[in-house]
Amino acid sequence: MKRIIVIGGGFSGIACLNRLLTYRGKIDLTLINDKGDFNFLPMLPDCISGKVNPEYLAFDLANLSRRVNFVRDRVTGIDLKEKMILASRQTLNYDLLLVGSGSETNFYGNDEIRKAAFKLDNVDDVKDLAGVMSRERIGSYVIAGAGYTGIEVATNLRIALNRKKIKGRIVIVERATSILGPLPQWMKNYVLANLKSMDIEVFTESSVAGVSGRRIALSGGKVFDDAILIWAAGVETSGFIRNLNIEKNPQGRIKVDEYLRFHDSCFAAGDAAFFSYQGNYLRMAVQFSIMQGDCAGINIIKTLQGKELVKYRPVDLGYIIPMANNKSCGILLGFSVKGILPVFLHYLMCVYRLMGLRNKLGVLLSLASYRLRW
Ligand SMILES: Cc1cc2nc3c(=O)[nH]c(=O)nc-3n(C[C@H](O)[C@H](O)[C@H](O)COP(=O)(O)OP(=O)(O)OC[C@H]3O[C@@H](n4cnc5c(N)ncnc54)[C@H](O)[C@@H]3O)c2cc1C
């Protein structure tokens, strides 16, 4: 019986498994994930403002299917020659493999910041942040990185503070000359105006120079006391990928071919994969992760059947930057959009993609009963 291993119980890994579960032949399916549950990442920032309960964003991977052996362990390496997965507590052999291990916060080797900062990689991270906010009196929240995540975090923080009637300084620090990287200028202007209306400061061409306890220093000499640092300044792939001797981009994403293959019998999907598209590359997003996971699943089945593989053809539905005061902007189906309607569509999509009926209902009820007061 062929042994198929999926590394990563996130969007791409689950989509691949769902496809493999449709295969009628005998296969030995194993999912290996470092945590016990699937985490729905796009709604993590909403937990900060209390819009969503983090409990509804996790789904127990042991309940996935009786046909899937779930192994909870952290992959530390892959021996491509011996077709072997090396994990913290075991080794596993495979005939076919999917790497869907996503990405994690990149601290760029700065251990001081790694130890001191909060991050938003999973449900436990957001619980940690909520915990410190409820226990301590924090004067300033310094967010490193003015990408989607940093902006979503900042706006949710402001709503959280206003709901508790607490004054607090919220500052986004960005190393580049402007927010939101390569996105169009009209979006940057829209977001900047909204951040200003929410009393969120933005320091561009600035970076975090050091953290000591609750004291944060910026590169220009500014210092914040009673402050916490939330790090949203970039991501990289899991450590075991970085050690693989294969072609990768600077974030460590694995270069895949048009069939999502990177090595004999090995596929990669989602954030872990680097797929060239129209002279550029696909950004990290849920829609691509799900579609790639599904396509990799199809190609694993085709390999088992000895049939020709199918090419992955990306479909880009667009993107939205949802801010916590129900303002948003983005591109949907090629059209520029802004305002409250895209926020509504974003949440609709989130509920649709959540795993588990209890979670879907829980989030739906939370959103329906949520009153925006600030
Ligand atoms: C705060 C936040 C907000 C976001 N908002 C949006 C949004 O609004 N829209 C959007 O499209 N995208 C959003 N994204 C990006 C989106 O969540 C990712 O693109 C998507 O989750 C990638 O799916 P994936 O399957 O590649 O990886 P993931 O969903 O991250 O799953 C990877 C899995 O692999 C596991 N894993 C990692 N390393 C190992 C290892 N060494 N051993 C074993 N298991 C391992 C992880 O624990 C995880 O379960 C957001 C991301 C974050 C962090």
Closest residue by Cα to residue 104 from 251, 321, 273: 251
Q: Is 326 helix (H, G, I), strand (E, B) or coil?
A: coil
H helix runs in 206-340, sequence order: 239-242, 286-305
Q: Which residue minimizes the CA distance to atom 7 of ligand 1?
A: 42
**How far is ligand 1, taken at its centre, from the CA of residue 168, in Å?**
30
Mean pLDDT by 10 residues, the chain (374 residues): 97 98 96 98 97 96 96 98 98 98 97 96 97 94 98 98 94 98 97 98 97 95 96 97 93 97 96 92 96 98 98 96 97 96 96 97 92 58
Quote the DSSP letter at residue 118: B
**How far is ligand 1, taken at its centre, from the CA of residue 291, in Å?**
14
Q: How far is CA 179 from CA 1, 218, 292, in A?
A: 52, 17, 29
User: Locate tokens 């090629």: which residue?
Assistant: 334
CA dihedral 302, 73, 103, 204 (to 10 degrees): 180
Inter-residue contact 8 to 46 (CB < 8 Å) = no
Domains in the chain, CATH or no CATH each: 2-34+73-105+235-305 (3.50.50.60), 111-233+318-369 (3.50.50.100)
At 280 the pLDDT is 86
At 372 the pLDDT is 61
Model confidence, pTM = 0.96
**How far is ligand 1, taken at its centre, from the CA of residue 162, in Å?**
30
Q: Which residue minimizes the CA distance to atom 24 of ligand 1?
A: 102
The residue whose CB lies within 8 Å of the most ligand 1 atoms, and thus the one to mutate among 39, 64, 101, is: 101
Does the C-beta of 330 come closer than 6 Å to ligand 1? no
**How far is ligand 1, taken at its centre, from the CA of residue 292, in Å?**
13
Q: Which residue minimizes the CA distance to atom 8 of ligand 1?
A: 42
Does the C-beta of 272 come closer than 6 Å to ligand 1? yes
Does the C-beta of 321 come closer than 6 Å to ligand 1? no
At 216 the pLDDT is 97
Phi, psi of 360 (to 5 degrees): -60, -50
Calculate ∠ Cα 7-10-15, nearest 5°: 90
Measured distance between the N- and C-terminal CA atoms of the chain, rounded to whole angstroms: 59
- Report strand pairing: 318-322 vs 215-218: unpaired
Does the C-beta of 12 come closer than 6 Å to ligand 1? yes
Of ligand 1's listed atoms, the one at least distance from the Cα of 122 is: 53
